[in-house]
Structure 1
């Protein structure tokens, strides 16, 4: 840890604009084996697909050794080497549409430290509000965790998959999918595509499947299982790494409140990502 007072970063804000042009969602649809022709101007952008915009376009000279932009700008200069997107919380107010001019306002709302089994950890919570010309569309809270670099890979305690899911389907994961998702989100983090780096430096046993990719795959699967329903709220939390060599399944469990709990599950039956979706009332579907 360093002597910088990270609390000085709480309350920092930044704003950025972009336009929801059609090529990124068409490319993501093709990556997910979905029809790419549905993304003409004026068509709705699926929930979470706003991640295709507001990309972190840092010059190559400002990239750190892990492939991320160097720290110390909007985010605090935390020296712990590992960085992961730990969890997210979303409220969907309105659909973004292809062709919309988009605006995102971001604020660091919380920074906290704790001691874990692997040493010190720092959590940074960032709140985003995404708007179109029609008003507020998406509220997002993102938790980023910083960890020390381990000497060996020690997985967290496993969380068993649900014994009787409402539905389950296999999900093909391979290095090409990981590379294409990294490219579409301009994510240079080397754990997703650089095998020597991920195994020798970060000590993982294989390429790491992006947390946001898992969250997106789960939500897309839940929507396929619930045609006509629109997500109103969505939360996800990473509980165990999922690797590119894993045999992955997507599972859903119906909730008494009408929503669904969602899980990515590896070949050992361990949960990787846990999520929950709440559906909008029928008269509020966008």
Structure 2
């Protein structure tokens, strides 16, 4: 693979106000899976998104690589995980500056072939004060090969401290994509997601699943956590009921999203209280 060292340290700054409309639309989108705060955990992902003209779309509907992110020679993009650290919360009327910096570009060989990883650090500032630090781990991979993905095993049973149940729908995916200005076709384009990317249906956003866990943890603690590290394990597609659940561990909470039909965990994370 080529050397992408020249991308390391590249930064982009954008600003956007926190509006009453945006707060309310995020709240109603998370009906049944939200904490009791004015500005909910995960809201920052609605602010200052990447935006390009249609001629600069990649095949997947995202801005093509080489504009904001390096042009890795692998076609499929996934938000694989990351970590959110809260130094404070956001409030209506504030102007939030998002500073996005590419930290690293690496490659490794996985079971399904070559994988490329791009790590991006996002700092969300208000008047020069960092309110939220957010590391995003993006993985790029080859198109799927027939029979290449083995079935995931069901997870161990938990004695959950608290849980929520939700069945994601196409409307939920549309509303979340609109709020975050996410054009990835795996969330709304059925022929593309099944025939090109090889999934069995419209894919539920990784950050949406992370948002469910962040809100459940905040609801349990009665406040924002100190931090939340998370990673995706298996795809979740629409129409498949899941349980978002938490259990106590030393120093915080262990979180996961688990498919009800087969017990497979689609995303897991650790809350530091």
TM-score by length of 1: 0.88
Note if 1:85 corresponds to 2:85.
no
Note if 1:262 corresponds to 2:255.
yes
Note if 1:218 corresponds to 2:216.
no
- Note if contact 1:71-1:78 (Cα within 8 Å) is conserved in structure 2: yes
Query: Could you say what secondary structure the match of 2:226 adopts?
Result: strand
The equivalent residue for 2:203 is 208
Deviations 1:5-37 (A, max 9, x none): 21221111111111111212211111122699x
- Cα 1:203–1:109, aligned 2, differ >3 Å: closer, same or farther? same
The equivalent residue for 1:249 is 243
Name which structure has the greater RCO, CA cutoff 8 Å, separation 6+: 2
1:156 and 1:74 mapped to 2: Cα distance? 33
- Note if contact 2:163-2:216 (Cα within 8 Å) is conserved in structure 1: no
Deviations 1:115-157 (A, max 9, x none): 1111111100011111112611011111100000113364456
Note if 1:240 corresponds to 2:238.
no
- Cα 1:60–1:272, aligned 2, differ >3 Å: closer, same or farther? same
Tell me which of 178, 189, 196 is aligned to 1:194: 189
- Cα 1:141–1:35, aligned 2, differ >3 Å: closer, same or farther? closer
TM-score by length of 2: 0.92
Deviations 1:71-114 (A, max 9, x none): 10231011211000111111100111111011121211111100
Tell me which of 4, 20, 23 is aligned to 2:21: 23
2:150 and 2:125 mapped to 1: Cα distance? 37
Superposition deviation, residue 256 in structure 1: 2.2
Note if 1:45 corresponds to 2:39.
yes
Aligned residue-pair number: 270
Tell me which of 172, 175, 178 is aligned to 1:180: 175
1:107 and 1:159 mapped to 2: Cα distance? 36
1:99 and 1:134 mapped to 2: Cα distance? 16
- Note if contact 1:25-1:52 (Cα within 8 Å) is conserved in structure 2: no
1:216 and 1:99 mapped to 2: Cα distance? 22
- Cα 1:50–1:64, aligned 2, differ >3 Å: closer, same or farther? same
1:90 and 1:113 mapped to 2: Cα distance? 24
- Cα 1:134–1:34, aligned 2, differ >3 Å: closer, same or farther? farther
Deviations 1:154-213 (A, max 9, x none): 445625334123233311211110111111111110101111111111111111110000
The equivalent residue for 1:102 is 96
Superposition deviation, residue 234 in structure 1: 0.8
2:3 and 2:207 mapped to 1: Cα distance? 29
- Stretches of structure 1 lacking an aligned partner (at least 5 in a row): 280-286
- Note if contact 1:44-1:96 (Cα within 8 Å) is conserved in structure 2: no
